[in-house]
Amino acid sequence: MLNLGHPSASWYAATAHALPPLPALDGETSADVCVVGAGYTGLGAALELASRGVSVVVLEAAQVGSGASGRNGGQVHAGQRNDQAWLEKTVGRDDAMALWKMSLDARSHLSALIAEHAIACDFTPGMIHARHKSGGEGEDLDHIEFMAARYGYHELEPIDEDALAEELGTGVYHGGTRDNGGGHLHPLNLALGLARAALARGATIHERSRARAWRREGGKIVVETAAGRVLCDQLILTGDGYLDELAGPQARARVMPINNFVLATEPLGERAETIIRSDAAVADSRFVVNYFRKTPDGRLLFGGGENYRPGFPPDLPGFVRRHMLKIYPQLADVKVTHAWGGTLGITVHRSPFVRELAPGVRVAAGYSGQGVMLAPWFGKLLADAALGETGGVELLSRLPTPPFPGGRLLRWPLTVAGLSWYAMRDRL
């Protein structure tokens, strides 16, 4: 089991619009649908179901948003995790087109949720993709033209090396692209806002109620916790990198948990005006991505580095700070006030794993870093499927998510070796 618990060391937790504690499950209860996990996917499903008059119980192992949904970089990227050219080659043009439309629906859905439920999560538009190696200008221009001509997406524009250096306040990058359709937000407050909305619509959420197992019994699905159980007709499993054994061998073979880390500096004062002048979010092109943005109070929030084993680095602030200073050496005298980590799920091709595992039992995991925008919408699609509207889940189930190589015993060391090799190439 990787790290789980309230993200108390995070800037997000320090600035959260906290919910009152929600009671743990004690005894037996029943619902039309049981949802495991109170992150974006689970809360998105619960909100949709409750809004449609369906009784729904959410079981959360720790607190709302305590997993990846409350710990991530808060970046909202357009599209699926894989680019459209890759999707066309892999699943064909028709499905690629449908997946692109789905991503636009997901973005619109996220915006609508924030507006309808007055979720104060500081959404800020603008996303910059920065190239860490030279020579990619032509590929950037080809991609911009491809997305405009084939998909009618006109939100991308190129940024040359000098303009990017002026924008970001660092000269380490070699140009890139700006996506005006992306942005960033406060991820924990988004999760808490979704929970408030679901509760207001009639959903029940039990914190500190880890689902330990599920089984069929007398025509019902029974979900067990340490202190109780839920009897339901449909089961939705979420939790991404925290799923453990609950989703069974099919998911375990295809979704691997990894840890990623973030820090927040003290407020930068006047220096904040020289860094990311447009207040966009930034992600670079490294295999182990550096991602960063400013907070409303003028801090730099910087994500960098990851590991592939249980546990976080002992000196977590120092671990991330080394990555930050490679981009912003001028911040060497700035204090780090918060540092935290979280666990996310990845798949071999970085495509999400969405499946019906058994009649009435569905799972979504393996967002591979693209969950902020996609997960609330995928939660809605899982809710739709629980009510017999399966088109969205069926489309996602066609995405290739092969097992990691090596089987149960060797998949971890083989995958870690492969990921470490690609991470090493970033430094060459």
**Considering all CA atoms of the chain, what is the largest pairwise distance in Å, rounded to the nearest integer?**
67
Give pLDDT tens digits for 189-215: 999 999 999 999 999 999 999 999 999
Instruction: Give dist(CA 333, CA 372) in Å, integer.
Output: 32
> What's the pLDDT at 7?
41
Give pLDDT tens digits for 168-190: 999 999 999 999 999 999 999 99
> What's the pLDDT at 325?
98
Torsion over CA: 182, 332, 189, 41 (sign): positive
Instruction: Give dist(CA 304, CA 323) in Å, integer.
Output: 6
> What's the pLDDT at 6?
39
Helices (H), 6-128: 11-14, 40-51, 84-91, 93-116
Which are the contacts of 412, defined by CB distance < 8 A and separation ≥ 6?
Answer: 256, 308, 406
Is the pTM value of this prediction over 0.85? yes
> What's the pLDDT at 3?
41
> What's the pLDDT at 414?
62
Q: What is the DSSP letter of 272?
A: G
| Helices 93-116/187-200 angle, 10° precision | 80
Residues with pLDDT less than 70, the chain: 1-8, 406-428
> What's the pLDDT at 405?
74
> What's the pLDDT at 310?
76
CATH top class, domain 11-418? alpha beta
> What's the pLDDT at 393?
94
Phi, psi of 63 (to 5 degrees): -125, 160
Instruction: Give dist(CA 190, CA 139) in Å, integer.
Output: 34
Q: What is the DSSP letter of 107?
A: H
> What's the pLDDT at 8?
47
Instruction: Give dist(CA 177, CA 175) in Å, integer.
Output: 7
Q: How many residues are there in the chain?
A: 428
Give pLDDT tens digits for 229-241: 999 999 999 998 8
The tokens describing 57, both together, are: 């119980």
